[in-house]
Structure 1
Amino acid sequence: MRKLVISRRESLKLLGGLGAALAVPSGLAFAKTGASLKAESGEGVFFKGWQFRTDLVEANVSRYNSELAGKVQYQTVAGDYPSVMQNYLISGAEVDVLYGNPSQAVRYLEAGWLAPADDLPDFQEVASDMYPNIKDAWSYKDKLMGLSYFVSNRGIIHTNMKRFLDSGLTEADFPKNWPELYDVLYKLRDRGQKEPFLPHWFNEWFGIGWGFAFEVMNRGGAVADPQTHKPMLTDTGPAAETLEAWKRLWKDGFVSEEVLTYNEAAYTGAFRSGRFVMSPQQHYDLKLFNTPGNSPAAGSISFLPYQGQSWGMIDSAMYLMSSRKRPTPATDDVRRFLSWYGYKDQDGAYFVAEKFMKETMLFSAYKGVMEKPETAETIRASLAREGDAERLLEVYKHADYPKGIFNVVWSEEYNAWVKEKLSAFLLNDLEVVKTIHEMNDKMAALNDKYGIH
């Protein structure tokens, strides 16, 4: 089956500059923007996001408020973020700036709840600073939906090297693709590893359903066409092979039922415990897992390199601006804060993006962040083995992006439905072909619902 993803040429542009920074220092310097980012209206700005390093978020907001007369109030949204946020936007709640994945942003923009980033005074500078393929992923109907929060590879196969090598295997035994990975899991169990694998089957809207999507793409398939959003799962090939492998793993007792109930914190916490040998995780959690004191396996967590098959997929999020009615001076202040937080501060520095890179290894869509020598050093210092920085970029350059199911208005409805369907597939021993047909039927019905033909 033809692989429907962002072109390799565009994909290679994403971190080409960072690859150069890993090799030689950059001479780039950044000047002040000159634009005033100081709040002027005296009105509050309401900023909402999901649970991730809220300590950093609150510190960032505090700096803006203290230095630029801001009245920004940050709130973490608990529970099912897409559903809660949609209810906020429908009801006209006080939401000015918010986090959003492309899948959410498309829906919000289509509903008229977002003001696109094109309206920001520094839009042209922002757009030219973004890697072209990420800008494309974050655009809908020729509008840039938001500013860069993060870009990541979700599904890179983290590997506890101590457990792997203690099993008598070597790097020469690293699987090159998903079929080989499943074969290696049996070898690991036969050699005494009780928990060889923690799959991406956790109970979040970005959990088991996204795990299915990236494995299908890694195997050379597609869930839906990136342009027409027509369902593309077939009874044979990548989708069927993925579900058949899952069913075998489940029936052979590799995965406990508890995994299907995990939230993301429990999922990353389980791998951080050091019990598991391999697991698809976010690339930035390599820093978390390798930081002394965070995990018994700190210093031993590497990942499977690119050897002809991609691993995982591009996951990303933006800072978005709502279109709720406000006095014009208040709207201007929202734009000032969004530009400061999502791009450059009053000194022309990428303050927030660079802080997240240093503290958590979140990649940015901005060339000015990714191509700095300091970024290369942060990546090197976060990884376990000599050469892992270059190997990580190679995996990243080949990562797929599921545009067919992300950049479409029904994405969140499908995410919620497929999460339940795939859990039921395992728990209730549903048929592979029937499950594939039901996924295709669901996407077709959603296309009909929204007049997408």
Structure 2
Amino acid sequence: MKRREFGTLAAAVGLAATRFGRASAATDPLEATSGKTVYFRGWQFATDVVQSNVKRYNDAEHGKVNYATITGDYPSIMEQSLIAKADLDVLYANPSSAVRYSEGGWVLPAETLPAIADIKADMLPTLAEAWTYKGNLLGLSYFVSTRGCIHTNLLAYEKAGFSDKDFPKDWDALYDQVYALHAKGVATPILPHWFSEYFGLSWGFVMEVLDRGNKIADPETHKPVMTTDANGAAYKTLAQWKKLWNSKLVPQEVLTYNEAAYIDAYASGRYVFSPQQIYDLQTFNKPGRSQIAGHSTILPVVDQPWGLIDSAMYLMTSRTRPEAVTADVKKFTSWYGYKDNTGQIAVGERWMQDNMLFSAYKSIMDSPVTEARIKQACARPADYEVVLDVYKATPFPTGIWRVVWSEEFNSYLRDVLSKFLLNDGDIVKTITAMNDQISSLNDKYGL
């Protein structure tokens, strides 16, 4: 059974013609002219799409962009490449990594691009703010998403006697319902955000604290603000995690999952709830890809948001190179991260159509084409508004992400949270240790 094709044939043909059209070299400001290689690196996601986009740039603009995929601990690997002054000109980066790279003097801010005024005018203000550090926009939009919206398997949920009116309104109500589902015979009611990627276990903790209305560190001073009070968000989160882990409702193997295994596990239909990416609605509702196709929704925003803003930019490095090559780096970044030579945000539009990756650009997000694409991924017509509401309410952890020590704290958080679960750790001691680590990092960097 095939999914509905999006759009009309005429629109598709028109878009293709525009995308693959090319202005004459004399009037094309994005044409590469140095004749030298521009090195572009990214993490492992839809690499066939990336290779195709790069080929189109090279063919249309006489470019010599060399793309390769980096596997493993991406932030650490890229930092080492930047320190070593490796062949690296353009790269993916999450905001937290981008700030660190900026402090290292390794990136060229987007402010240096000729079209920066137009770029900023088209950006959603919340994203422009999240991606700005010390007055500089660090990069251009790759994608924006809500990581940790609560995907819900309607087949299992309704089979257990629940309906939309029973949807939990906050994290504590969600956990209560997990145990109620188990009492009704559901063996594994939840797949928590505890997988092994650098954005797994640690981000799972961060999102719950933010969703509960608290912060981990102050957005301006970056001083720790978590309390050991039993009513505090950090305490409540760890208390729920301890209870869930000790209940044996979550298999220990989840701590070893990579993201692909984590997605596959929920798509198997074994779980009722799981904090996942908002764009994976299309994955979970796709026949042949998911055992719950057409029956996966996300919980609406009622008493709190769900998840946190997950986003990435295209950054330019500041490594020493001839001016003509730097000019080509800027041309490629502008073409790839904003508008191509035809005036379309072609790469961003393609990410939306092919993978439902949201964009920081208003012109993409406000488009009726985008609305139709999101609706195509939803199980039910009313879910479109739920998706928008969840997305608009999603918080950004400024206090621990827009600071130079972000990745160091993230690595620490992964380790301490894993030990907390495996060793039945003490909640107060764990929170105290987290706060002490933040204070230590502030001292290290003179904050």
In which range does the TM-score fall when normalised by the shorter chain? over 0.9
Q: What's 2:154 paired with?
A: 161
Counterpart Cα distance in 2 of 1:244 and 1:262: 23
Report 1:408-423 matches (<5 A). 408-423=403-418
Counterpart Cα distance in 2 of 1:59 and 1:309: 40
TM-score (norm 2): 0.93
Q: Does 1:360 align with 2:344?
A: no
Q: CA deviation at 1:271?
A: 0.9
CA deviation digits over 1:269-304, x for unaligned, max 9?
111112111100010011111111111111111010
CA deviation digits over 1:287-323, x for unaligned, max 9?
1111111111111110101112111111110000000
Q: What's 1:183 paired with?
A: 176
Alpha carbons 1:39, 1:70 under 8 Å: kept: yes
Opposite residue 68 of structure 2, the aligned amino acid is: Q
Alpha carbons 1:226, 1:403 under 8 Å: kept: yes
Counterpart Cα distance in 1 of 2:35 and 2:185: 64
Opposite residue 287 of structure 1, the aligned amino acid is: Q
Counterpart Cα distance in 2 of 1:450 and 1:74: 34
Opposite residue 391 of structure 2, the aligned amino acid is: Y
Report 1:128-143 matches (<5 A). 128-143=121-136
Opposite residue 221 of structure 1, the aligned amino acid is: N
Q: Does 1:374 align with 2:369?
A: yes
Opposite residue 39 of structure 2, the aligned amino acid is: F
CA deviation digits over 1:36-77, x for unaligned, max 9?
111111000100000111011000001111111111111100
Counterpart Cα distance in 2 of 1:72 and 1:260: 37
Match of 2:234 among 232, 236, 239: 239
Moved over 4 A (4+): 32-35
Alpha carbons 1:288, 1:360 under 8 Å: kept: no
Q: Does 1:277 align with 2:286?
A: no
Counterpart Cα distance in 1 of 2:212 and 2:301: 13
Identity %: 53
CA deviation digits over 1:147-196, x for unaligned, max 9?
00011101100001011001111111100001100010011111121111
Q: CA deviation at 1:264?
A: 1.1
Match of 2:308 among 308, 313, 317: 313
Q: Name the SS for the 1:284 alignment partner.
A: helix
Report 1:13-412 matches (<5 A). 36-236=29-229, 237-412=232-407
Instruction: Structure 1: state its 5+ residue gaps.
Output: 1-28
Counterpart Cα distance in 1 of 2:270 and 2:218: 38
Alpha carbons 1:343, 1:350 under 8 Å: kept: yes
Q: CA deviation at 1:376?
A: 0.5
TM-score (norm 1): 0.92
Opposite residue 210 of structure 2, the aligned amino acid is: M
Q: What's 2:445 paired with?
A: 450
Counterpart Cα distance in 2 of 1:68 and 1:404: 41
Opposite residue 49 of structure 2, the aligned amino acid is: L
Counterpart Cα distance in 1 of 2:303 and 2:392: 12
The CA RMSD over aligned residues, in Å, is 1.4
Alpha carbons 1:425, 1:431 under 8 Å: kept: yes
Q: CA deviation at 1:35?
A: 5.4
User: Which structure has more RCO (C-alpha within 8 Å, separation ≥ 6)?
Assistant: 1
Counterpart Cα distance in 2 of 1:357 and 1:291: 16
Q: What's 1:19 paired with?
A: none
Alpha carbons 1:204, 1:419 under 8 Å: kept: no
Q: Number of aligned pairs?
A: 423
Counterpart Cα distance in 2 of 1:134 and 1:89: 25
